Amino acid sequence: MNIENLDFFAQAILSIAALIGLTSFLMLGQGRLLRLVFVFALQGLLLCSATALAAYSLNNYHLFISAGITLALKVFFIPWMLKRQILKMKIHRDVEALKNKTAVMLGGASLVIFSYYVLHPVLNDTPVVMLNALATSLSVVLLGMLLMISHRQAIAHVVGFMSIENGLFFAAIVSTSGMPMVVELGIAFDVLVAAILFGIFFLHIRSSIDSLDVDMLNRLNELEK
């Protein structure tokens, strides 16, 4: 199969898959929280357009609803909430110095290769577009985990978690041509609740260790050292 033989929608979905992968990388290397949240919103926008494209090309109109939910939640509400919290806690000027940025980036690139390698055995009985998009979404999931591992700010962890969810959502869209509406609504609700809960956690972490840097949690000891 060559990309020239695919129809325009498949090409567009593949391009969006690639761009979603790129946004994951951008998040991985980002030290500023506001920019991190902005890139996260961008990823949500790409996800939303992928959903809308899939809805249009598969004639599966309830996917439009889930695209709308994605737009409202992941492009506007969650980034807005995170931004508000960042501004409220006055950490928007902090630049997080990433340890070993180059190593993290190269690790990310190898995760992409790994996810493709893992999915390669399923090659024979799947359409290739689906396989490619699945590989990309698996790599988005893994990159989200790497983001959570490599960053120290709690807000970055939340963004990483949400981008894992983005990857899973993208996988669901391309592989199942849309889940049942109930499931999608449930997931959207879960994400919303998670976002709000994280907001409360931020407050608690901040009030107990006076910072959102999770490395500081190591200092919490029963015994005085």
Partner 1 sequence: MNWILALIQTLLFITLAPLLTGWIKCCKCFLQNRKAPSLFQPYRDLWKLTHKQPVVSDQASWLFVISPYIIFSAMVLAASVVPLIAVNLPTAASADIIVLVGFFAFARFFLALAGLDIGTAFGGMGASREMTISSLAEPAMLMAIFTLTMTAASTNLSLAIGYVLDHGIVLRPSFIFALFAMLLVAIAETGRIPVDNPATHLELTMIHEAMILEYSGRHLALIEWASQLKLMLYGVLIANIFFPWGIAEQLSITALGHGLLHIVGKLAILAVLLAFSETLFAKMRLFRVQEYLSFAYLLGLLGMLSHIILEASR
Interaction site with partner 1 (CB under 8 A): 1-4, 8, 11-12, 14-15, 17-19, 21-22, 25, 29, 101-102, 105, 109, 112-113, 116, 123, 128, 132, 135-136
Closest CB 12 distance from partner 1, rounded Å: 6
Closest CB 15 distance from partner 1, rounded Å: 5
Closest CB 122 distance from partner 1, rounded Å: 13
Closest CB 141 distance from partner 1, rounded Å: 15
The DSSP 8-state label assigned to residue 6 in this structure reads: S
CA dihedral 91, 95, 97, 98 (to 10 degrees): 80
Strands (E), the chain: none
User: Residues 6 or more apart from 131 whose CB is under 8 A from it?
Assistant: 119, 122, 123
CB 104 within 8 Å of CB 111? no
d(CA 146, CA 106): 11
- Which residue, 125 or 210, has its beta carbon nearer to partner 1? 125
d(CA 73, CA 71): 6
- Which residue, 129 or 195, has its beta carbon nearer to partner 1? 129
- Which residue, 143 or 212, has its beta carbon nearer to partner 1? 143
CB 175 within 8 Å of CB 114? no
Dihedral sign from CA coordinates of 187, 188, 190, 194: positive
Closest CB 181 distance from partner 1, rounded Å: 29
DSSP calls for 68-100: HHHIIIIIIIHHHHHHHHHHHTT-TT-B---TT
- Joined tokens for residue 4: 């020239």
- Which residue, 20 or 162, has its beta carbon nearer to partner 1? 20
- Which residue, 8 or 93, has its beta carbon nearer to partner 1? 8
- Which residue, 35 or 62, has its beta carbon nearer to partner 1? 35
Closest CB 135 distance from partner 1, rounded Å: 6
